[in-house]
Amino acid sequence: MKISVKWLLMLFVISYIALSFIGCSREADVASRNLSVAAEQFQIERRIIFYNSIQKEYLLSIEGRCSLEIRSGERVVTVTCKTSNTEYKKHYLGLSDNVTYFAEQLKEAPVNVYHYKVIFRPQTIIPDIDFEREGKSNG
């Protein structure tokens, strides 16, 4: 009977250690996901730098509340920055064998590692529709 209790205790300790490692990974995944969502909602300031590794020079630096979209098949990076409550700027940058980019988060951001962040925006669910009548745009 002593052997089975020892084995049971050992199994419990091993299971606890294994689950704690899995928990750390999931916590990091949730924090990373929530930071990404916050950045895509223009809540986090970033610095995006484009660098030519052959010429060894910086090509472009963009700073602000910016969202990144990377289209690897097309080798294009799209940077959309919020410049005011209602205004945005969008930049398209091509990547090549010698041009790369780096995105840096400029400040810490609080995220909740126990909950996912879901954001509903009515303007994306119900679109703002423009229509054209007799060659004139109304909207």
Task: Give me the half-sphere count of Cα atoms (radius 13 Å) on the Cβ side of residue 133.
Answer: 4
Residues 13 and 48 in one domain: no
The type of residue at 6 is K
Residue that wins the pLDDT comparison between 74 and 122: 74
Question: Distance between CA 31 and CA 116 in Å, rounded?
Answer: 9
pLDDT recorded at residue 46: 93
**Percent of the chain, pLDDT > 90?**
27
CA–chain centroid gap for 86, Å, is 21
Residues 34 and 53 in one domain: no
Is residue 129 domain-resident? Answer: no
Residues in CB range of 73: below 8 A, 6 or more apart: none
- Give the closest residue to 43 by CA, choosing from 124, 126, 108: 108
pLDDT recorded at residue 26: 76
Is residue 136 domain-resident? Answer: no
Residue 118's CB is within 10 A of a number of other CB atoms, namely 6
The model's pTM: 0.61
Give how many domains the chain has, as a whole number. Answer: 2
Mean pLDDT (whole number) for 42-58? 91
CB 99 within 8 A of CB 50: yes
Residues 46 and 89 in one domain: yes
Under the banding of pLDDT at 50, 70 and 90, the label for residue 67 is: very high
Residues 73 and 22 in one domain: no
Under the banding of pLDDT at 50, 70 and 90, the label for residue 113 is: confident
**pLDDT one-digit tens code per residue, 7-37:** 655 666 666 555 555 555 577 888 888 888 8
Write out the residue range of the structural domain in which residue 15 sits: 1-40
Residues 48 and 67 in one domain: yes
3-class DSSP assignment, residue 76: strand
What is the side-by-side strand order in the sheet with 57-71? Answer: 88-94, 76-82, 57-71, 46-52, 99-105
Residue 75's CB is within 10 A of a number of other CB atoms, namely 13
Residues 17 and 56 in one domain: no
3-class DSSP assignment, residue 102: strand
Is residue 85 domain-resident? Answer: yes
